[in-house]
Amino acid sequence: MSQTPSLKLPFIRSLVLSPSFDIFGAILIFGVCYKLNFHGTIYQDGEIVFGIPFTDLWAYVRSGAYPLGIFSTVGAIFSMLATRFVGKQKNSGNVLGVVTTVNSGANDFMFGNASAIITYPISFLLHSFAFFKWHKGEGIRKIDKFYFIIVIVGLVFGFVLVYFGAYLFGGRTDQAFLVIVSVTFGLSLGANFSNAFKYEETWLSWTIYNLIQLVKAFMQGNLANVVKYIFYLVNSGLTLADWKWNGDRNLQKV
C-alpha cells in the first residue's frame, strides 16, 4: 500500500492555501485605492482625470466618462484572486483569469498601452488553453528544455507584438515604456503558456514579471496595479517555493 508523501514546507503550503491571505490581499488593494481616492479616476474625452470626488462620479459617468479607477480596482482584486487560485492549483483560477483579462485589457489601453488591442486577446486565449489543459488533469512537472523555449519565444513575440501594436495604434511610444511593456508581455506569454503545463518555474517567471509590472504601473500612475503587484511579489515567491518543494496537491496533503 503506497503512502502519501509528506510535505517539505507545510507552513508555506498553508499560506498558499490560506483563505485569510486571499481576504488580506483584497482588503489591501481596496483599502489603499480607497484611501488615496484612486476610485475617483475617470477616462473622458481621450484623457485620464484623477481626483474626482466620489459624490461627483455618477454625474461624470452620466456625461459619458468611464469610471477607470473603479474598474481598475475591482479588476485588480479579481485578478489577484485568479492568481491565488492558480497558485492553490485550482482550475477556477484559470477561469477567473479569462474573465479578468477583458477588464484588464480595456484599462491598460486607457492608461496608454495601445498595443493592448493585440496583446490581451492573446492572453485571453492562453488562459483558456490553461483551463482546458488543467481540466484534463495536468500535474506539476520539472523544468526541461521545452520550458526555456517557451520563455525565449514568449519574449521575442512580446517585443514584436507590442512594437507592432504601438506602430499601428499609437498611444505611448516612449522607448522606456515600450521596452517595459514588451518585456512584461513577453514574460506573461511564457508564464501563461508554461502555467498550462504546470511547470514549477512558472512562478519564477511570474516573480520577474511582477517586478517589471510594478515599474510599469508606477510609470502609468495606476495605483491599483502598484498595490496589486507588491502583493503579487510576495505571493509568487511563496507559490514558487510551494510548487517546487511541496509538489502536486493531488499527491501530497498538509
Query: Looking at residue 2, what is its pLDDT?
Result: 45
- Cell triple for 149: 523555449
- Rounded to whole angstroms, the Cα distance separating 75 from 38 reads 13
17 falls within a domain? no
Cβ–Cβ < 8 Å for 234, 16: no
- Asked whether residue 127 is assigned to any structural domain, the reply reads yes
Answer yes or no: is 70 within a domain. no
Residue 32: inside a domain: no
Cβ neighbors of 51 (< 8 A, separation 6 or more) are 37, 40, 41
Q: Quick one: pLDDT at residue 224?
A: 76
Residue 69 lies in a domain: no
Does 27 reside within a domain?
no
Which pLDDT value is given to residue 251?
Answer: 67
Nearest-CA neighbor of 205 among 174, 183, 182, 231? 183
Q: Is residue 130 part of a domain?
A: yes
| Number of structural domains the chain divides into | 1
Q: Which helix (H) or strand (E) holds 107?
A: helix 92-110
Closest to 217 in 3D by CA, of 95, 86, 38:
38
**How does DSSP assign 181-199, residue by residue?**
HHHHHHHHHHHHHHHHTTB
Question: Residue 113 and residue 105: Cα distance in Å, rounded?
Answer: 9
For residue 146, the model assigns a pLDDT of 95
Q: What is the pLDDT of residue 172?
A: 78
- On whether residue 45 sits in a domain, the answer given is no
Q: Give the pTM.
A: 0.85
Domain range holding 146? Answer: 75-246
Residue 254 confidence (pLDDT):
41
pLDDT in tens, the chain (254 residues): 444 557 889 999 999 999 999 999 999 999 988 988 889 999 998 888 989 998 999 999 999 999 999 998 998 899 999 999 999 999 999 999 998 998 888 888 888 888 888 888 998 999 999 999 999 989 999 999 999 999 999 999 999 998 988 888 877 788 888 888 899 889 999 999 999 999 999 999 999 989 988 888 888 788 778 888 899 999 999 999 999 999 998 765 44
Please, are residues 188 and 209 in contact by the beta-carbon 8 Å criterion?
A: yes
For residue 10, the cross-strand partners are none
Bridge partners of 200?
A: none
Place of cell 502519501: 4
- 15, HSE (Cβ side, Cα atoms, 13 Å): 16
Phi, psi of 210 (to 5 degrees): -65, -40
